[in-house]
Amino acid sequence: MVRIYWHFRTLLAWSLAVLAFIAFALTNPAFLHAGNLYSLLQSFAVLALVATGLSIVMIAGEFDLSIAGTIPLAGLIAVKVGETAGIHLGVAAAVAVAAAVGVLNGWLTAHYAVPSLAVTVGTLVLTIGLGFAVAGGKIVTLTDFEPGLWLDQAIAEIVSPRALLYVVLVVAAGWLMAKTWSGVKIRAVGSDRQRSAASGLPVTRVLILAFVISGLFAGVAGALQGLTLASGAPGSDEATLLQAVTAAIIGGVALTGGKGSIPGVAAGAMLLAVVGNGLSLQGTSTAIIQLINGGILLLIVVIDRPLNRIVNKSVEKSMSTSQHRVPTNR
């Protein structure tokens, strides 16, 4: 029953995304133009990547606010180092710093038993400060436009190498969570950390892994964004963080940890990307789009509560039945 429920949550998110896509396609012929589909897939890919990394931390029972600072910091480092030492080294340095932030988040949260919200608020401020230190209070620019142009060149007119890379990373994360022991451990820690520790699971390493994935995905998104814009500026990216949280919750990731799927998160990202793209094409203001996204999230939460209650009752009933069936030793 539980597995059916979470499959339903994923199916619900994908169904809403498909319905939204069909609705915009029928009401605005320009929605299906190659250029608009290219823009849609670009938005979806980056949101799916960041939301996937965040969702893994949420499944582990924690939260990562620091990605709002990691994204612009990675872009700054990629541009700053890339301008003097080469693009490849710039991207590598950006991703390494993002991973280091993830390690710090995971270690502090697990080793000192500090709530991750408090830890990642601190690392968010830290990454913003590092960004201003790297940039020296200025906008950093890249004179070599070729890498950015290649990353965003259109393939079959609707997708780019950058978007394809993001999708590959999301698929890899889905495989990790669904098919490996690391995914099982992350879910176990998120479901019941004390019981996981008592059973011998390496809770600290599991949390560090979850935060490192989140940091890496945010770092990749920020670094490649810096290359495509050929510039970087210090600050924070709260808009992407909020959209990532919304996509994760719409996709079925539980705030209490232990539950959620990467395909569901991708569906949530697709729904937000379709709605944002379609409404923008119709001239809707950003404020109204954010209002509608909030409404979608509230609708999902309202639908989810009775369904979750039914599942919990079903689980309790099945456990009670199993206990009654256990034979006694004579």
pLDDT of residue 330: 45
Tens of pLDDT, residue by residue over 29-75, are 999 999 999 999 999 999 999 999 999 999 999 999 999 999 999 99
Beta-strand (E) ranges in the chain?
Answer: 140-141, 231-232
Quick one: pLDDT at residue 300?
Answer: 74
Decide: helix, strand or coil at residue 1. coil
What pLDDT does 286 receive?
Answer: 84
Q: How far apart are CA 253 and CA 306, in angstroms?
A: 16
Q: Are 297 and 304 within 8 A, CB to CB?
A: no
Task: For the chain, give the number of residues.
Answer: 330
Residue 124 sits at the vertex; the CA angle it makes with 121 and 126, to the nearest 5 degrees, is 115
- Tell me if 66 sits within 8 A of 127, measured CB to CB: yes
Residues 131, 219 contacting (CB under 8 angstroms): no
pLDDT at position 287 is 84
In the predicted model, residues of the chain with pLDDT beneath 70 are 1-6, 303-330
Tell me the domain boundaries of the chain.
Answer: 48-236
Q: What is the pLDDT of residues 152-166, one digit of tens each?
A: 999 999 999 999 999
